[in-house]
Amino acid sequence: MEKRRYIELYKSGELKKRIEKSISMLEFCKLCPRKCKVNRLNDERGFCGAGRFALLASYGPHMGEEFPLVGKNGSGTIFVGGCNLKCIFCQNYEISHVMYGEEVEAKQLAQIMLKLQTIQCHNINIVTPTHIVPQILEALPFAIEQGLNLPLIYNSSAYDNKEVLELLDGIFDIYMPDFKFWDSTMATQFAGTENYPFIAQNSIKEMHRQVGDLMLDENGLAERGLIVRHLLLPDDMENTKKIVKFFSSISTHTYVNIMDQYKPYGNIEGFPSLAKKITSAEFNNAVEFAKEKGLYRFL
> What confidence tens digit (pLDDT) does each residue in 262-296 have?
999 999 999 999 999 999 999 999 999 999 999 99
The radius of gyration computed from the CA coordinates of the chain, to the nearest angstrom, equals 18
For residue range 68-113, list pLDDT tens digits in order: 999 999 999 999 999 999 999 999 999 999 988 999 999 999 999 9
The pLDDT of residue 168 is 98
Q: Which of 146, 52, 88, 60 lies closest to 262, judged by CA?
A: 88
Residue 90 belongs to domain with CATH number: 3.20.20.70
How far apart, in whole angstroms, are the C-alpha atoms of residue 60 and residue 48?
A: 23
The pLDDT of residue 3 is 79
Res 172 pLDDT > 80: yes
Label residue 220 by pLDDT band (50, 70, 90).
very high
The pLDDT of residue 100 is 87
Alpha-carbon distances of 167 from 3, 202, 215, rounded to whole Å: 20, 15, 22
The pLDDT of residue 94 is 93
The pLDDT of residue 299 is 80
Mean pLDDT of the chain: 96
The pLDDT of residue 107 is 98
The pLDDT of residue 179 is 98
Print the domain residue range for 160.
Answer: 5-298
The pLDDT of residue 1 is 53
For residue range 116-161, list pLDDT tens digits in order: 999 999 999 999 999 999 999 999 999 999 999 999 999 999 999 9
Q: What angle do CA 199, 205, 207 make, to 5 degrees?
A: 100
Res 2 pLDDT > 80: no
Q: Please tell me the least confidently modeled range out of 51-55, 165-169, 193-197, 270-274.
A: 270-274
Q: Report the percentage of the chain scoring pLDDT > 90.
A: 97
Mean pLDDT to the nearest integer, 42-48: 97
Q: Report the percentage of the chain scoring pLDDT > 70.
A: 99
How far apart, in whole angstroms, are the C-alpha atoms of residue 176 and residue 229?
A: 7
For residue 69, with 0-12 CB atoms within 10 Å meaning exposed, 13-18 middle and 19 or more buried, which class applies?
A: buried
Mean pLDDT to the nearest integer, 223-234: 97
Mean pLDDT to the nearest integer, 171-188: 97
For residue range 80-92, list pLDDT tens digits in order: 999 999 999 999 9
Instruction: Specify the pTM.
Output: 0.97
Domain count, the chain: 1
For residue range 54-71, list pLDDT tens digits in order: 999 999 999 999 999 999
Label residue 227 by pLDDT band (50, 70, 90).
very high
